[in-house]
Amino acid sequence: MKKLFANIEKMTCGFKPGYTIYCRAYKHVIEQEIALANIQEGDVVLNIGCGSLPFTSIHIAQMTNAKVIGIDRDVEAVKNAKEITKKFGVDDRVQIIHGDGEEDLGMDFEVAIVALQAGAKERIYKRLMEQGGEGCRVVFRQPREKFESVYGSLPDSLIPTSKAVHPMKAFKESFLFRGVEKKEGSA
């Protein structure tokens, strides 16, 4: 299923009306996530798993004027996403790069939004919390139970600070986690 949606994104990325139709369902989700993570102008937002159609990255930039860095490990998706950001005139606020959320991305950020299809969610969580540090806000889209085997999910031991509920078919919630202050003497 993940590959099917990735292929649909790749096929429709050059067709602006297709992009618009595909993204319409997500606009409300992204509005909720902006409110959940309190994304504001001046924030640097990482969008892990932006895909060929970086609608989350674009909507966040358009709705908040934040700087967004869309990250994907698929080279073709990165190429397509760069073209889309140019078409929508947001390439001055949305940077698309090749990378993996499991790795140290070597950049500061205030907020990270992790796509449903991103793999190794627990490792991505640990890396983002290490890298983001105190005060960072990290949002994960959580699949419905019947899709957990397809998309994976965070372990139940990770308790979100807050969450938003969505009427989407594949995912039901976005979880917010906040970076905590490290105690003196701890690594």
pLDDT digit string, tens, across residues 118-132: 989 999 999 999 999
Supply the pLDDT for residue 15.
59
Q: What single letter denotes the amino acid at residue 75?
A: V
Q: What single letter denotes the amino acid at residue 31?
A: E
Supply the CATH number for residue 56's domain. 3.40.50.150
In a domain, 109, yes or no: yes
In a domain, 186, yes or no: no
In a domain, 187, yes or no: no
* pTM score, whole prediction: 0.87
pLDDT tens, residue by residue, 19-68: 666 677 788 999 999 999 999 999 999 999 999 889 999 999 999 999 99
Domain hosting 19: range is 2-178
The total number of structural domains that make up the chain: 1
In a domain, 184, yes or no: no
| Least confident residue range of 6-15, 110-119, 142-151, 174-183 | 6-15
In a domain, 79, yes or no: yes
Tokens coding 88: 């929508």
Burial 49-59 (b: 16+ CB within 10 A, else e): bbbbbbbbbbb
In a domain, 113, yes or no: yes
H helices of the chain, where? 2-12, 16-24, 27-37, 55-64, 75-87, 121-132, 148-151
Residue 177 has pLDDT above 70, yes or no: yes
In a domain, 74, yes or no: yes
Whole-number Å distance between alpha carbons of 67 and 48: 14
In a domain, 185, yes or no: no
Query: Per-residue confidence at 183, pLDDT binned at 50, 70, 90?
Result: very low
